[in-house]
Structure 1
Amino acid sequence: MATQLDKLGVDTIEAGFPIASEGDKESVQSIANAGLTSEVCGLARVLTKDIDACIDAGVDMVHTFVSTSDIQREHTIHKSREEVQQMATQAVGYIKDHGLRCMFSAMDATRTDLDYLVAIYGAAEEAGCDIINVPDTVGVMSPSGMYNMISYLRQQISIPIDTHCHNDFGLAVANSLMAIEAGANQAQVTINGLGERAGNADLAETVMSLKSIYGASLNINTEYIVETARMVERYTSVPITAHRPVVGENAFAHESGIHTHGVLENSDTFEPGIMTPEMVGHTRRIVLGKHAGKHAVRKSLEAANLNPNDEQLNHIIEKVKTIADKGKRLTDADLYAIACAVMHKPMGKPAIDLKELSVMTGNVTTPTAVVKALVNDEERVLSNIGIGPVDAALKAVTGIIGEHATISIHDFRIEAITGGSDAVAEVIVGVQDEKGRIVSARSASADIVYASVEALVTAINMLLQK
């Protein structure tokens, strides 16, 4: 992940909290020694042992923090204001004496008495601190309140100001933007907004707002934003919701007939324009549902070399809306099948004809799948391993097409249709080729692995026919 963040172009990576555990310290150390362009930072309380752990890990900067609000100071660290200020200045001095850059955070700053906040930040600056951080630790600040606080601190503090906003009321990104408007120099963000409780300010939303709306110059290579978001989704198993701004599946998806017609003519009609899917490594999608218009359906069919006349098109749209009204997600394979039936046109010959599927799994066996298929009339057999039987099977299928195409799985969903141990599951698989074209297909079976493979094979065949 650190390598990916470096590729993305983030200025500083806060790699971890070295004192927390030996594993965390080793992780931070390995990142610090990875030869990255990004500055590597370690987190530390205002305690010598914490700071020493960061120094031992080889970081470029130490981010040291202490609670300053009365409620946290009195109920967590049980220190007076004077003691906290002394601890802060000693920590900053200790870090600077060891030749490292220093960031100081007054934790729960937005609930801290303002005069005391100015005093402790001023003391940290005098002690040689390089950056002060203003955390909205429990996410209670309003955007206007954040603007006013940072404006006031900017008049009192000459060193760079950083912000750290939590999302308890959904205001983390707005507060980060207001802080920067008011004079803050940088913002702490996370991929996909991950973080304590409701999370932190999201990198994608903050970066694209600054770049596209404010016209700010940033070091972020925005074309890797979606790639990075999906990597974090995969490693953390925390899914990206479809409607998440910038990186969600629906961020650049259009269904309404009016919207799709406009977007197909000129994407700026129903997209921001100042932010395109290409800018963030995303793709534009036309979604077919009960709001679908003729223009979108015709364009989707033309992409598959299907050209219905007006009467046939009306019949196809009627069937599409009937399916959508039942709450079903319409896949590309569904659309093509409907069109071929209405037009009395045979479906094209599939490139992949699945013959056999065998799967081995267990607590002492690495999940392995073996696939036998005819690929353009040539018999091929391929085995692959995976995290589970479904993963192994899908890898085997995508591998068996070999030189015919470079295809990756874009989307995978599974839902139980019936209850019980013999439940029938519906699987929807989306695949993408090297040109960014995406096709989806579905299958249903009591055998989840077979349903997954069948949907994948259908989707690949449709994509190759395109």
Structure 2
Amino acid sequence: MVIINDTTLRDGEQTPGVAFTRREKVVLAEMLFQAGITHLEVGIPAMGDEECLTIAAIRKALPEATLMAWCRANKSEIKRTAELQLDWVDISIPSSKQMIEHKLKSSVDKLLANMLDCIRYAVSLGLQVCIGCEDASRAELDFLADIGALGSLAGAQRLRYADTLGLLEPFMVYKQIKQLSSEQPLPIEIHCHDDLGLATANTLAAIKAGASYANTTAIGLGERAGNAPLEEVAIALYQCYQQDTGINLTALPALCQAVSLAAGRPVAQQKSLVGEQVFTHESGIHVDGLVKDVRNYQGVDPQLLGRSHRLVLGKHSGIGAVQAVFARIGISLDKIQTDKLLIAVQAFAIDRKRNPSDIELLRLSDQVLGSF
């Protein structure tokens, strides 16, 4: 079973302009845990005392959760992680030639020596270690395998493959993770960014290739275009691979809404799975098919998320939809009444650029047909 190691509270909060309060982070952590996401990356100790106090508050609120902090290969940061009584530390190191030379301004030998020293130090403090390979998608695969093999000998227990710039596509991800799994001993955690809109697909490809852990963020928060959305990965694993992640899928809409409010990032109406309109139908052909049998136009059962289909009227509605929607609000229509209201509904939608509400439909019926 793949384990979701959610990073809403760390990488998600790195979204430009997003700044959770301590109370918000604790509440969101509790909601994540209650939804069955028990592995959480909760912050960056190097950010200072306020961040550490927030991490400590999450630890106190969730003593049974598996909590991770993100650190550089820096002993003082690792020490603070241990002092906060977290379970895991992600020791992040640049792994591509570009970043080693032009960001870290170091050599491979120095990077590896420092990495191993930090791993041993973290293990001595009782921490479990994930090696975070930043920019892994631009690194040499042989070098990533060396990092995993050497890190394992030093005591590391997981290797994070980060597509930091969101450059990859699923076929390459599958090939890379499959090969990396066979060439070094550590379980792999996949960390995808959504710059090309492929973070979910890349995460699934990595899992298919053998990744044991997956990083996600609720509603896809994160740097630039964000990370793989928690709700998409969880539902796709269930829907496509029949994998039980232990997540209560019906809890995801409320969780995503809470994250949206705390982040000040509205969820797009057509956001997959949790957007307001993703189980809403207007087209006459689709509505007719749904009324006959929901399986005609149901790819994902909305009940998985505690939701249901909703029929609305608009420019593309047909007579069957008009009769079904008006019947739902307590008005039975004959053929002539239906035809008249269909014309009125289509004119409303074109004029207002939206679907009429139930109250507006009642007003239309009064205007077109007179009071019932």
* TM-score between the two structures when normalised by the length of structure 1: 0.72
- The match for 1:57 is 84
* 2:203/2:214 contact within 8 Å kept: yes
SS at match of 1:169: coil
Percentage of matched positions with identical amino acids = 29
- The match for 1:331 is 357
- The match for 2:219 is 192
- The match for 2:273 is 246
- The match for 1:287 is 312
SS at match of 2:210: coil
* 2:344/2:368 contact within 8 Å kept: no
TM superposition shift of 1:288: 1.2
Q: Distance in 2 between matches of 1:31 and 1:55?
A: 14
Q: Distance in 2 between matches of 1:188 and 1:249?
A: 25
* 2:187/2:211 contact within 8 Å kept: yes
Structure-to-structure mapping, 1:125-164, within 5 angstroms: 125-164=152-191
Looking at both structures, which has the greater relative contact order when contacts are Cα pairs under 8 Å and sequence separation is at least 6? 2
* 1:92/1:124 contact within 8 Å kept: yes
Q: Distance in 2 between matches of 1:90 and 1:266?
A: 62
Which of 254, 268, 282 is equivalent to 1:227? 254
TM superposition shift of 1:137: 0.5
Number of matched residues? Answer: 344
- The match for 2:329 is 304
* 2:319/2:342 contact within 8 Å kept: yes
Structure-to-structure mapping, 1:58-457, within 5 angstroms: 58-272=85-299, 275-329=300-354, 330-345=356-371
1:12–1:96: structure 2 CA closer, same or farther, 3 Å change rule? Answer: same
- The match for 1:23 is 50
TM superposition shift of 1:281: 2.6
TM superposition shift of 1:36: 4.7
- The match for 1:412 is none
1:196–1:101: structure 2 CA closer, same or farther, 3 Å change rule? Answer: same
* 1:140/1:169 contact within 8 Å kept: yes
SS at match of 1:95: helix
TM superposition shift of 1:8: 1.3
SS at match of 2:151: helix
SS at match of 1:326: helix
Q: Distance in 1 between matches of 2:98 and 2:332?
A: 69
Name the structure where strand makes up a greater proportion of residues: 1
- The match for 2:6 is none
Q: Distance in 1 between matches of 2:120 and 2:292?
A: 61
Q: Distance in 2 between matches of 1:64 and 1:7?
A: 27
* 1:192/1:202 contact within 8 Å kept: yes
Q: List runs of 5+ in structure 1 lacking aligned partners.
A: 347-466
TM superposition shift of 1:5: 0.4
1:36–1:244: structure 2 CA closer, same or farther, 3 Å change rule? Answer: farther
- 1:313-348 Cα deviation digits (max 9, x unpaired): 1101110011112243122211111113333215xx
Q: List runs of 5+ in structure 2 lacking aligned partners.
A: 1-27
* 2:146/2:184 contact within 8 Å kept: no
Which of 29, 33, 46 is equivalent to 1:2? 29
Q: Distance in 2 between matches of 1:101 and 1:341?
A: 69
Stretches of 4+ aligned residues off by more than 4 angstroms: none
SS at match of 2:346: helix
TM superposition shift of 1:26: 0.8
Q: Which amino acid aligns with 1:333?
A: I
TM superposition shift of 1:45: 0.7
Q: Which amino acid aligns with 1:26?
A: L
- The match for 1:436 is none
TM superposition shift of 1:122: 1.0
Name the structure where helix makes up a greater proportion of residues: 2
Deviates more, 1:88-97 or 1:182-191: 88-97
* 1:95/1:101 contact within 8 Å kept: yes
- 1:26-61 Cα deviation digits (max 9, x unpaired): 111111111354311111111001101211222111
- 1:344-379 Cα deviation digits (max 9, x unpaired): 215xxxxxxxxxxxxxxxxxxxxxxxxxxxxxxxxx
* TM-score between the two structures when normalised by the length of structure 2: 0.90
